[in-house]
Chain A
Amino acid sequence: MNSVDVTMALVVGGLFTAGFHLMLQRSLMRIVFGFILLGHGTNLLLLVVGGSPGRPPVLDGEETAPTADPLPQAMALTAIVITFGLTVFLVALAYRSWRLSGHDEVRDDVEDRRIGTARERARNEPGPEHDAHGTTNGGNR
């Protein structure tokens, strides 16, 4: 019993492809766009895979055609509203990054790399480290 049709499966797959492709970029704005597309794709996936389509699930006395499955609808509804909240949150994050560092790009985490070279640095520069911060924040201002 298929509740999904080929067209919808392709749409969901297309939204995931576009969404993830954008998420793999460095610009925070494109990551936000990717997140929005992924949100749409996921909500759609939830609905089309979760249950069969049909007449709106409202009881109005005339039980002629089969109704659509209401449970995935309720779940997708909450998911839509949460996606909204998270999208605005991400945009605010991009805005903050741009305000603080002058760009909204996801640069490589310098701290991560420093962990890998901790031993060499400890050998080469015996003094205490002063430059642990400041390389990521405000360096480009």
Chain B
Amino acid sequence: MLFLLAAYAGVAAAIPWWQRRLGRAVWTVAALVPLATVVWASTRAAGVLDGGDYRESLSWAPSLGLTIDLRLDALSLLMLWIVAGVGALVLLYCRYYVERDTGRQAARLLAFAGTMTGLVLADNLLVLYVFWELTTVASFLLIEGRGERQEERRAARQALLVTTAGGLVMLLGFIMLGQTAGTYRVSEILADPPRGGTVSAAVVLVLIGAFAKSGQMPLHGWLPAAMVAPTPVSAYLHAAAMVKAGVYLVARLAPALAEVPPWRPMVFAVGLTTMVLAAWRALRATDLKLLLAYGTISELGLLTALLGAGTRTAALAGTVMLLAHAAFKAALFLTVGILDHQTGTRDIRELSGARHRMPVLCAVAVLAAASMAGLPPLLGFVGKEATLEAFWYGTGIGPHQLLGVAVVIGSALTVAYAARFVSGAFGGRPNAVVEEAERPAPGFVAPVAVLSAAGLVLGVGYAATSAVATAYADVYPPGPHGPYELALWHGFTPVLGLSALTLLLGGLVHTVGRDTWTVPRLPDAQRVFDHATAGLDRLATVVTRHTQVGSLPVYLTVLLATLVAVPGVALAAAAPSPGSPPLWWSPVEPFLAVVILAAAAAVVSARHRLTGVLLAGAVGYGVAAVFLVRGAPDLALTQFLVETMTLVMVVFVLRRMPPRFGTGRTGRRARLARAAVAGAVGVLVTCFALVASAARTAPAISADYARRAAETGAKNIVNAIIVDFRALDTVGEISVLLVTAIGVISLVRVPGAEQRIPGGGSGGTFPTAHWDEPVRTWLPGADERSGGERSVLLEVATRLLFPSILLFSLFLLFSGHYRPGGGFSGGLVAGLAFVLRYLVGGRADLGAAARVPAGVVAGTGLLLAAGVGLAPLAFGGVPLESALVTVRPPVLGTVEIATSLFFDVGVYLLVVGVVLKLLSGVGVALEHDGTPADEESEGSTR
């Protein structure tokens, strides 16, 4: 069965390509897949009809209990024949019907057939649900077509919304059912049905989903609306296959759940009401497709009642009607399609006399309509007999004779609209519309004829039909009068009388109503849907208006207030002990605390950009001192260097901006609210810090790191963690660093600046591209600035100092394994050396110092780190594993090198590259960048 699903998916995906080569013949190719399904199902039929089944299973996520279970039993076999058989005929029919978008339509139809196949074969509630929603998606695509007309889009959206909403409700029911039963396998649930209050709730939810899918009132509105779809799609999805999914689910679960309280009242009330009202509504329709759509809703109502009844006779009748309906309704839809295709209309008021122009089609349609009306010896008659029997003599069904009356009324109306269909489509004298129409090609009518003939063959050969139907119906015990047998002739029974009565009444309704063509109007479900969606739109607007005010401070205030309100209140409610924290760890701490907090308070009140930056830097240096005091020299070193680098970079940017910044106009209340929220968060964090540290129960895992540090050849455990134990973190971190550097470069490039240089090329816009220009003089920055701005002494000293700083950075890099240092601090020191060159010597001097493009340096670093991380894979290790290598170079004696050192070299190179890149971005690029004032004057002259 899995290969069938794969074939559907594969062929559907390939069809758009084949269509270019094959043209219309592609429909025949597409039809081969469902035909193969029919043949395969037939080979399995003998075993399945004897009561056996055929299973396949594909493990998907076994730890979650998710397996794709497929099972072919009698009901699945019947549905498979319907789905694949009608599918093949519809695809063959499309060869003549579809005028454009052949490849796409064929692929969609075939994909739909595949999902429907999966749905009827699924033996797991969740798998069933997935296929269920896939059919909805396929239906959306098929109804929408090219989506050019608003009507199509609207109908597609409505079908999607209603059936998906129903599907979600059903999923909830499935989960309740599965959890109560302890299994999601349908066959196991059927074998051992769960009971209880939860199951009753699940029944309601599952039935709502099934009703939405099968267009049961009041959820039927989408089905008539979906008639904007091409007629073959309506014939297949909205008559034979998709809408049957709901009925199929009812039939599938009824043996297990029919006895659970709300099941029977629900299926009878909804099913039979739908049957009568929709049939009534069909009598008002003048559009033939709409007439058939309401007819379909009516028939689905009957099927829901029959298959949900949970008695043997009803199940037998339901199965026969299922088969009969698929054959005659698809045939009638396809007939309308031919009429529409040949004459250009499908309105009863415009069509007249088509029986003279298309006699064969007329005969075929009459045969199908007769099966719909329930005339002997057609399959519809066999089904109607069984239906009346099931309700008239229904035992265990409650008020069965009342229900029988409803069925008689519904059947009479069915006869009436069947007659209305035939006389509306083919009756009357030929008019101009019909006279000008071409006769349909024989291949066009053939699929319709096959479907109509099926009603006759299966009716006359009721023994074969009976074999399939009883195989399913036998899950129920026979009634008190012994098992009911399908037959064309049971003798003169009351049921035969009722059957004749329906024909009589139906004929009467048809002849009486014929003169006016109108019957009283019923309230329209369409308007309810429109109001519901419009109301939802309004609600969304109102919610948006009140929540999306567009102010960042307001959003942030709400976020922080939530932080204080929810986790804060939880923290206070739990009232954990803060332990007995010491006042300070080292007596230096209070002094540092005063410095840090004073600087932070000063930042808050700063109005100059530069003041703010310097004060923020003071906070950073203070924090670095705290790191040092608390025994984290690596951190302190990095923090000092990073703080310096931040200062330099921020000042580079700020020199282009005005010295002061606006404080904004904020009301007193807003200011107070912000201060209160910020203060509350601060208190919360303080309490959190005390409580979290006191709440610790497990020992620190770093004791393990200290023990295993020897394996890495390191003495500095922090460095060992960064380059070895947690190297993956570091790889992620340096990637983030590179990405932010690239982000900064693209942010400081302003599009306006590029426009000002027409045809300047990419090199012209980016001054750093001139780095590789020939450098002649020893102090190349000499001609950049006037002599008054330069200090030769400083430039020379920088030149001499530069190699020493680089050497120191390398020392930090290589000694990082044993004492404070490492790739990060080494890279930052080297970066600061380049910053110094730039600050003192200008951009030309920087170009002389860094001859390799910054991107190459950074990229090499990242590649090296990643390469060292992946290298162990080649030696059969795990990624990021490190090893100790002992080498004996001639002079130095024995040297032990950890491979993780190369990882640290990668980090070093990346940091240097990022610093260079930032330097070129915010330093060099901004140096000759115009200010907005320049731009404004240029803009006015332009």
A residues in contact (CB < 8 Å) with B: 1-27, 29-30, 32-33, 36-37, 40-41, 43-45, 47-49, 51-60, 67-71, 73-78, 80-89, 91-96, 98-100, 102-106, 108-113, 115-119, 141
Contact = CB atoms under 8 A, between A and B. Distances in A.
Nearest to A20: B678
Nearest to A103: B662
B800 interface: no
Given A2-B693, A8-B626, A9-B686, A95 B700 contact: no
B635 interface: yes
Nearest to A93: B747
Contact of B623 (A22, A43, A84): A43
Interface in B619-643: 619-620, 623, 626-627, 629-635, 638-639, 642
B244 to A, nearest CB: 40
A82 to B, nearest CB: 6
A123 B921 CA distance: 48
A82 B584 contact: no
Given A13-B686, A48-B689, A74-B718, A96 B541 contact: no
Contacts of A108: 549-551
A42 to B, nearest CB: 9
Interface string B379-423: 000000000000000000000000000000000000000000000
A113 B554 CA distance: 13
B560 to A, nearest CB: 6
Given A26-B553, A88-B744, 8 more contacts: A2-B580, A18-B601, A68-B630, A81-B642, A91-B654, A92-B748, A115-B548, A116-B544
A92 B744 CA distance: 6
Given A58-B716, A105-B662, A105-B664, A92 B747 contact: yes
A73 B635 contact: yes
Contacts of A77: 634-635, 638, 718, 722, 824
A40 B685 CA distance: 14
A74 B550 contact: no
Contacts of A16: 678, 681-682, 685
A24 B818 CA distance: 44
Nearest to A68: B631
A69 B690 contact: no
Nearest to B732: A78
Nearest to B741: A85
B750 interface: yes
Contacts of B690: 2, 4, 6, 9
Contact of B616 (A33, A44, A96, A102): A33
A110 B551 CA distance: 9
Contacts of B620: 36, 40
B619 A40 contact: yes
Nearest to A17: B682
A121 to B, nearest CB: 11
Q: Name the residue among A36, A68, A83, A105 with the largest chain B CB count within 10 angstroms.
A: A36
A100 B750 CA distance: 8
A133 B592 CA distance: 50
Contacts of B674: 21, 24-25
A72 to B, nearest CB: 8
Residue of A71, A73, A76 with most partner-chain B CB within 10 A: A73
Contact of A95 (B623, B726, B747): B747
B702 A96 contact: no
A48 B741 CA distance: 30
A104 B458 CA distance: 80
B717 interface: yes
Q: Is the interface of A mostly helix, strand, loop or mixed?
A: helix
B443 interface: no
Interface in B124-154: none
A5 B592 CA distance: 14
A81 B681 contact: no
Chain A CB within 10 Å, residue with most, of B560, B623, B715: B623
Contacts of B736: 82, 85
B721 A5 contact: no
A115 B597 CA distance: 43
B612 A109 contact: no
B357 interface: no
Interface string B5-20: 0000000000000000
A6 B642 contact: no
Given A57-B716, A99-B932, A68 B632 contact: yes
B596 A15 contact: yes
A116 B543 CA distance: 8
Contacts of A30: 612, 661
Contacts of A54: 631
A12 B689 contact: yes
A53 B631 contact: yes
Contacts of B582: 2, 5-6
A20 B682 contact: yes
23 contacts: A6-B584, A13-B686, A25-B664, A25-B674, A27-B662, A29-B609, A36-B616, A53-B585, A57-B631, A58-B818, A59-B717, A80-B639, A85-B737, A88-B741, A89-B747, A92-B748, A102-B932, A109-B550, A112-B548, A113-B548, A113-B549, A115-B548, A119-B537
A63 B457 CA distance: 96
Nearest to B591: A7
A18 to B, nearest CB: 4
Contacts of B550: 108-113
B38 interface: no
B650 A91 contact: yes
Contacts of A99: 750, 752, 932
Contacts of B726: 74
B679 A49 contact: no
A84 B646 contact: yes
Most interface-central of B603, B692, B705 (chain A CB within 10 A):
B603
B579 A73 contact: no
B819 A7 contact: no
B113 interface: no
A85 B682 contact: no
A2 B692 CA distance: 9
Contacts of A43: 623, 639
Interface in B548-563: 548-553, 556-557, 560
B188 interface: no
Contact of A71 (B603, B612, B675, B721): B721
Contacts of B657: 94-95, 98, 104
A23 to B, nearest CB: 6
Contact of B548 (A5, A47, A80, A116): A116
B693 A22 contact: no
A43 B689 CA distance: 12
A119 B541 contact: yes
A47 B549 CA distance: 38
Which are the 9 A-B pairs with shortest beta-carbon distances?
A116-B545, A17-B682, A13-B686, A112-B550, A68-B631, A85-B740, A109-B550, A21-B678, A26-B664
A44 B623 contact: yes
Contact of B733 (A1, A32, A81): A81
Nearest to B822: A77
A23 B563 CA distance: 15
A102 B661 CA distance: 12
A69 B609 CA distance: 37
Given A78-B733, A116-B548, A141-B932, A8 B664 contact: no
B926 to A, nearest CB: 8
A48 B722 contact: no
Given A27-B663, A30-B661, A58-B717, A22 B583 contact: no
A37 to B, nearest CB: 6
B94 to A, nearest CB: 39
A33 B661 CA distance: 12
Contacts of B709: 59
Contacts of A18: 600-601, 603-604, 678, 682
**Which of A37, A85, A117 is most buried by chain B, counting CB atoms within 10 A of its CB?**
A85
B627 A47 contact: yes
Nearest to B743: A89
